[in-house]
Amino acid sequence: MVFCALSGWTQTLTSNDQVRVVNKVIAELKDKYPFPEITARIESTLKQNLNSGAYAKITDPNDFAGRITYELQEISKDRHVNISYTPEPQKVEPLRIQSIYTPTNELDRMERDNRANNYGTTEARILPGNVGYIKFGTLQPLEYAGDVYAAAMRFIANSDALILDLRTSTGANSVDAIPFLTGYLFEHPVHLTNFYMGGNAKVRQLWSFGYVPGPRYLNKPVYALTSRMTFSGGEAFAYELQAQKRATVIGDVTGGGGNPNAVYPIDEHFMMSIAFARVENPVTGTNWNEKGVQPDVPVPQAEALHRAHLIALEKLEASAPAEKKFQYASALEDLRAVPPVIPKVLFQLKGHPQAQSVSLLAGFNFYMPWVNPMQNVNGVWTTTVRVEPGRYQYLFLVDGQQVLDPANPQTNADKRANIIVVK
């Protein structure tokens, strides 16, 4: 989560509130962020803006959170670092990062929150030509999602190729989810990644699981689908399989959140997300932070599944014995005959000639500002997006401030976002 477009009731923010929140953000960065040189630049900028009155006209706490987040990310180039506002009072407790595992009380809450979406695993099916497909959202702790993951892997076990859809996988709430899932794809444990906690040089290694329930998925092609929304743990899944040459990555460059983070209240109404460690891949010697995971087959995310399915069938047909070639050829013919048709939608915002950065925030891009940046074309900020039919909420982010679309009178109930219906 980066920006919240639908926060409901808000209080009025005073200058004293602004000072208090900025000082708390700086203190948390100094205490936990593993890049002190970046923290120093952030401190200088935020304090200078306070003193110059740059925040003086911001009285909406959502707008203030957006502005601070914009500056945090502009300086750090780290999309895990942000603050957000919540109108409901939060219980404030010190965050003590002693391990990369989730506390038991947090596990209970996440289990309740994610039960309704099957713990992020919303589809498992067999596509024409016997190609397996699993769609993952946020990756969840094995304590309650492990059985779902095992059932999904059992379901596709007899397929001839596998597509892992990570286009809406925006993170991982567990360090064990990826080692567990990759355990199905390797015959023996594989060193996936290293965690360096804070400034501590001591490394914590993560390896794929040596044991998994059910059959392993070996010696068959695997494809990972990505988008600009793929973030953090979703990126780690794709990056680690790509580094080990176990999957072909197909889609868009991902969001570029390469350092594990924690989200916690810094006061009763402001939450902070902060990266508390850095990740290093043992194969590449680096990670995907800022630059994102680079796909092996670049293609717009809306076309990624169709392209991956085609590539999988073409590979299977090329290596198939004579008696199975017809099966793949027939599925290929049907797939080529019906390419995906996804509408293009033009979004425009007039004015704001002095703005440095304008982005589209919408339900279809998880309100992530880097997914659909806008360009100034003759005084009009513009972007064109391929969007599947549906009803969506959207608004614009102008230099960290949320702005409604003045050309669209349709808004949601609390008038904090516009509505668009794509047909």
Q: Rounded CA gap, 414 and 9, in Å? A: 8
pLDDT in tens, 152-173: 999 999 999 999 999 999 989 8
| Mean pLDDT value across residues 312-323 | 95
Quick one: which of 238, 367, 363 has its CA closest to 304?
A: 238
CATH of the domain at 373: 2.60.40.10
Note the pLDDT of residue 224.
Answer: 98
Same-domain pairing of 255 and 283 = yes
Please indicate, yes or no, if residue 94 is contained in any of the structural domains: no
Same-domain pairing of 113 and 197 = yes
Q: Rounded CA gap, 23 and 267, in Å? A: 12
The pLDDT of residue 200 is above 70: no
Cβ 391 vs Cβ 421: under 8 Å: yes
Cβ 293 vs Cβ 238: under 8 Å: yes
pLDDT in tens, 343-368: 999 999 999 999 999 999 999 999 99
Encoding tokens for residue 363? 């339900």
| Mean pLDDT value across residues 203-219 | 95
Q: Rounded CA gap, 363 and 380, in Å? A: 22
CATH of the domain at 153: 3.90.226.10
Question: Cα 359–75–35 angle (5° rounding)?
Answer: 135
Same-domain pairing of 144 and 178 = yes
Please identify, among 337, 363, 389, the residue that sits at the C-terminal boundary of a domain: 337
Q: Which residue has the higher pLDDT, 306 or 103?
A: 306
Please identify, among 278, 313, 337, the residue that sits at the C-terminal boundary of a domain: 337
Please indicate, yes or no, if residue 351 is contained in any of the structural domains: yes
pLDDT band per the 50, 70, 90 thresholds, residue 239: very high
| Total of domains in the chain | 3
Cβ 135 vs Cβ 123: under 8 Å: yes
Please indicate, yes or no, if residue 77 is contained in any of the structural domains: yes
Please identify, among 307, 337, 367, the residue that sits at the C-terminal boundary of a domain: 337
Task: State the helix-helix crossing angle for 15-32 and 61-76, rounded to 10 degrees.
Answer: 30
What's the mean per-residue pLDDT of the chain? 91
pLDDT in tens, 377-419: 999 999 999 998 999 999 999 998 899 999 999 999 988 899 9
pTM of the entire predicted model:
0.88
Cβ 264 vs Cβ 28: under 8 Å: no
Note the pLDDT of residue 323.
Answer: 87
pLDDT band per the 50, 70, 90 thresholds, residue 9: very low
pLDDT band per the 50, 70, 90 thresholds, residue 46: very high
Same-domain pairing of 33 and 65 = yes
Q: Rounded CA gap, 352 and 374, in Å? A: 12
Backbone angle region of 278, left / alpha / beta, with phi > 0 → left and psi within -120 to 50 → alpha? beta
Alpha-carbon distances of 22 from 188, 272, 401, rounded to whole Å? 48, 11, 17
Backbone angles phi, psi at 201, to 5 degrees: -75, -10
The separation between the first and the last C-alpha atoms of the chain, rounded to the nearest angstrom, is: 27
| Mean pLDDT value across residues 196-213 | 82
Quick one: which of 225, 209, 240, 367 has its CA closest to 301?
A: 225
pLDDT band per the 50, 70, 90 thresholds, residue 96: low
Quote the domain boundaries for residue 57. 15-85
- How many CA within 13 A on the CB side of residue 225? 25
Q: Rounded CA gap, 248 and 177, in Å? A: 20
Who's near 245: CB < 8 A, 6+ residues apart? none
Who's near 12: CB < 8 A, 6+ residues apart? 59, 60
The pLDDT of residue 139 is above 50: yes
CA–centroid distance for 282 within its chain:
23
Same-domain pairing of 180 and 288 = yes
Residue-wise DSSP of 139-170: B--HHHHHHHHHHHHHHTTT-SEEEEE-TT--
Same-domain pairing of 163 and 300 = yes
Same-domain pairing of 217 and 258 = yes
Same-domain pairing of 274 and 402 = no
Give the sheet arrangement for strand 261-265, strand by strand: 82-85, 270-275, 261-265
Question: What's the burial of 97, exposed, middle or buried (CB within 10 Å: 0-12/13-18/19+)?
Answer: middle
Same-domain pairing of 388 and 268 = no
Same-domain pairing of 154 and 294 = yes
Same-domain pairing of 47 and 136 = no
pLDDT in tens, 18-32: 999 999 999 999 988
Q: Rounded CA gap, 195 and 261, in Å? A: 12
Cβ 129 vs Cβ 312: under 8 Å: yes
Please indicate, yes or no, if residue 218 is contained in any of the structural domains: yes
The pLDDT of residue 261 is above 90: no
Same-domain pairing of 298 and 273 = yes
The pLDDT of residue 104 is above 70: no
